[in-house]
Amino acid sequence: MVEMTVKEMLESGVHFGHQTHRWNPRMKPFIYGARNGIHIIDLRKTIDLLAKACEFVSNRVAEGGNVLFVGTKRQAQPLVEEMAKKAGMYFMTHRWLGGTLTNFRTIKASIDRLKDLEKKSTEGGLEGLTKKEKLGVEREIIKLTQAMGGIKNMTNLPSVIFIVDPFKEKIALQEAQRLGIPVVAVADTNCNPEGIDYLIPGNDDALKAIRFFTSKIAEACEEGLARRNQVIREEGQEGVGSSREGTKGKAFVFKADKFEDATDGTFKGESGVAGGTK
């Protein structure tokens, strides 16, 4: 069960939005107020929506689905990769390749190319090449791995896309929307929340905040996998198949810290904690 508290969110700086002049008015319902020219996100909304997002992700994974973690900006890259690997899911942390979802057949061809080169490299398939040719192959492997190493084992389109900063990942969001793939996204006060199936309002820039959100989604994936495996064990099958009864409706709870009490004194003074002015 994924647990989360307002105190934990405050310590991670989840509540710090962007400078007030950089906001998107569509995020107004999720803003608590402003301090020192910085929008403060309403953590009562965040904790409720995060719990719903975790429940959705867990249920999808329990039913046999997979999640693609997306975060290509510098500070998000290592955390997105780490948490996706921890959960056994796919990830894309470098430049989003146009058509990753909408033209997956072409992307799959590049993935197959990467696998083929890796196999040749490890099994002596490059022995007949010159030193220059081997160097060229090694460089191609590095380039392909950087671009799509996180989706190398993705044979079909993902069931869910989890995005850190939909403002930055506009193309990924648009491709998912076009194909009807559900989107879970951490959106800061400068984002447009429209078209996001499971919006999580929060700081998408600070390292601690990104770690908080990605770790919770990873936990939800792990919880879903555990339930899926439990069904497999109970049925004595190799796959869940069509029997999905018992994998739905898992409750996700949060500890009901009072928002007003938890934030006493937090908003006083400078708001440079966990990421500073944005």
> What is the pLDDT averaged over residues 138-149?
90
Question: Are 139 and 180 found together in one domain?
Answer: no
- Residue 260 three-state SS: helix
Name, in order, each residue with C-beta under 8 angstroms of 221's C-beta and a sequence gap of 6 or more.
57, 58, 61, 67, 87, 88, 89
In this predicted structure, the answer to whether residue 26 has a pLDDT above a threshold of 60 is: yes
Question: Are 161 and 235 found together in one domain?
Answer: yes
In this predicted structure, the answer to whether residue 56 has a pLDDT above a threshold of 80 is: yes
Look up residue 203 and give its two tokens.
């700081």
Name, in order, each residue with C-beta under 8 angstroms of 267's C-beta and a sequence gap of 6 or more.
33, 35, 40
pLDDT grade, residue 238 (50/70/90)?
Answer: low
The C-alpha atoms of residue 264 and residue 143 are separated, in whole angstroms, by: 49
Question: Are 134 and 212 found together in one domain?
Answer: no
Q: Is residue 30 part of a domain?
A: yes
**pTM of the predicted model as reported, rounded to 2 decimal places:** 0.82
Q: Is residue 254 part of a domain?
A: yes
In this predicted structure, the answer to whether residue 273 has a pLDDT above a threshold of 60 is: no
> What is the pLDDT averaged over residues 6-23?
95
Question: Are 163 and 235 found together in one domain?
Answer: yes
Question: Are 113 and 207 found together in one domain?
Answer: no
Instruction: Please answer whether residues 271 and 38 qualify as being in contact, where contact means their C-beta atoms are separated by less than 8 angstroms.
Output: yes
Give the whole-number percent of the chain exceeding pLDDT 70: 85
Residue 2: the pLDDT is 81
Residue 278: the pLDDT is 66
Residue 163: the pLDDT is 99
Q: Is residue 278 part of a domain?
A: no
| Unique residue bearing structure tokens 């190319």 | 113
Q: 247-256 pLDDT, tens per residue?
A: 444 444 444 3
Q: Is residue 271 part of a domain?
A: no
Q: Which of 42-51, 119-128, 157-166 has the lowest mean pLDDT?
A: 119-128
In this predicted structure, the answer to whether residue 90 has a pLDDT above a threshold of 80 is: yes
Residue 237: the pLDDT is 58
Alpha helix positions (H), 149-198 = 170-179
pLDDT grade, residue 127 (50/70/90)?
Answer: confident
Nearest to 96 by CA among 69, 61, 70: 70
pLDDT grade, residue 137 (50/70/90)?
Answer: confident
Q: Is residue 270 part of a domain?
A: no
* Number of domains, the chain: 2
Question: Are 16 and 147 found together in one domain?
Answer: no
Question: Are 184 and 253 found together in one domain?
Answer: yes
> What is the pLDDT averaged over residues 152-171?
96
Which of 87, 121, 156 is the C-terminal boundary of a domain?
156
> What is the pLDDT averaged over residues 135-151?
90
Question: Are 110 and 172 found together in one domain?
Answer: no
Give the whole-number percent of the chain exceeding pLDDT 90: 71
* Domain of residue 193, CATH code: 3.40.50.10490
Question: Are 206 and 232 found together in one domain?
Answer: yes
In this predicted structure, the answer to whether residue 264 has a pLDDT above a threshold of 70 is: no
| Unique residue bearing structure tokens 């990830």 | 91
φ, ψ of residue 184 to 5 degrees: the values are -110, 125
Q: Is residue 62 part of a domain?
A: yes
> What is the pLDDT averaged over residues 92-120?
92
Q: Please indicate whether residue 60 or residue 270 has the higher confidence score (pLDDT).
A: 60
**Alpha-carbon torsion 21, 26, 35, 163, what sign?**
negative
Question: Are 126 and 41 found together in one domain?
Answer: no
* Domain of residue 117, CATH code: 1.10.287
User: Within the chain, what is the greatest distance between any pair of CA atoms?
Assistant: 70
Q: Is residue 91 part of a domain?
A: yes
Instruction: Please answer whether residues 147 and 94 qualify as being in contact, where contact means their C-beta atoms are separated by less than 8 angstroms.
Output: yes
Tell me how far CA of residue 249 lies from CA of 57, 58, 76, 139, 243, in angstroms. Answer: 11, 9, 31, 47, 15
Residue 276: the pLDDT is 47
Q: Is residue 218 part of a domain?
A: yes
In this predicted structure, the answer to whether residue 260 has a pLDDT above a threshold of 70 is: no
> What is the pLDDT averaged over residues 170-196?
97
Instruction: Please answer whether residues 250 and 227 qualify as being in contact, where contact means their C-beta atoms are separated by less than 8 angstroms.
Output: yes
Question: Are 222 and 112 found together in one domain?
Answer: no
What DSSP state is assigned to residue 20?
A: G
Could you list the residue range(s) of the whole structural domain that residue 63 is in?
Answer: 6-101+157-239+247-262
Residue 235: the pLDDT is 82
Question: Are 186 and 256 found together in one domain?
Answer: yes
> What is the pLDDT averaged over residues 104-113?
92
